[in-house]
């Protein structure tokens, strides 16, 4: 399959405007994400999809590929489609632009499985009850074949605290075939998606199956300026 990687990257962020350009141990966050993806060596192309010329210029400056997208685009998936719509790719992997330590091993696994599935994502087992009840942590419940049954910000499946044995936390990386992505874009927002503010629910609403890869990768996203220091500490611990 001819597969591209697209990294959506907006400038505006309610809690951390311009975070894509924030320096992390001497490199911008978007460069670190891009280079983690490039380490896989498996993509036909890697693009940053952005709505801001500053991000565009930064990516081009370090030797990457970037494309300007419409500022009115609201979701990362729509931004991905705007890049691949007129290009000849069989499938695309959508990688979050605010995870500078994204695992190249996980990306490669999504790439591998995407050759057999229409939609692929990932989750890890999390033992934190605090995370379980947090609306900021997305949960996923799967069937016996690792197909997602539902995603929610609510604690699912429900259980008493005394019986809690962990849950599966969704990780925001997606691989999809061109065909299923085009169906997603043409359908429009579903009620479930709007209620939970989780765009992946549109796929389930349409009857599409999302295959979930179980991983031990712990997501370290950058949401606020204080997260930069945490990432730099992890880099020092890894001697990177």
Distance from C-alpha of 107 to C-alpha of 175, rounded to nearest angstrom: 9
pLDDT (tens digit per residue) in 121-168 = 999 999 999 999 999 899 999 999 999 999 999 999 999 999 999 999
Q: Does 78 have pLDDT greater than 70?
A: yes
Q: Are strands 45-50 and 3-9 parallel, antiparallel or unpaired?
A: parallel
pLDDT given for residue 67 in this prediction: 96
pLDDT (tens digit per residue) in 204-240 = 999 999 999 999 999 888 989 999 999 999 999 876 5
Helix axis angle, 104-114 relative to 29-38, nearest 10°? 50
pLDDT given for residue 192 in this prediction: 94
pLDDT given for residue 240 in this prediction: 55
Domains, the chain, ordered by start: 3-229 (3.90.550.10)
pLDDT (tens digit per residue) in 188-209 = 899 999 999 999 999 999 999 9
| Contact of 102 with 33, CB cutoff 8 Å | yes
């Amino acid at each position: 399959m001819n597969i591209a990687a697209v990294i959506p990257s907006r400038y505006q962020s309610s809690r951390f405007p311009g975070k894509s350009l924030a320096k992390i141990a001497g490199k911008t966050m978007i460069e670190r994400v891009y280079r983690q993806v490039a380490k896989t060596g498996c993509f036909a192309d890697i693009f940053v999809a952005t709505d801001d010329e500053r991000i565009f210029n930064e990516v081009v400056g370090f030797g990457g590929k970037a494309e300007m997208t419409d500022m009115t685009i609201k979701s990362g998936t729509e931004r991905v489609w705007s890049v691949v719509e007129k290009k000849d790719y069989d499938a695309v992997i959508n990688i979050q632009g605010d995870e500078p330590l994204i695992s190249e091993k996980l990306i490669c696994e999504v790439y591998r499985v995407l050759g057999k599935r229409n939609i692929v994502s990932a989750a890890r087992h999390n033992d934190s009850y605090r995370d379980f009840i947090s609306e900021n942590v997305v949960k996923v419940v799967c069937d016996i074949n690792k197909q997602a049954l539902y995603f929610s910000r609510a604690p699912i499946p429900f259980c008493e605290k005394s019986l809690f044995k962990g849950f599966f936390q969704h990780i925001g990386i997606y691989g999809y075939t061109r065909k299923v992505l085009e169906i997603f874009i043409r359908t429009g927002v579903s009620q479930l998606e709007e209620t939970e503010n989780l765009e992946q629910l549109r796929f389930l609403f349409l009857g599409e199956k999302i295959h979930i890869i179980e991983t031990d990768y712990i997501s370290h996203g950058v949401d606020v300026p204080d997260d930069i220091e945490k990432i730099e500490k992890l880099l020092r611990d890894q001697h990177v």
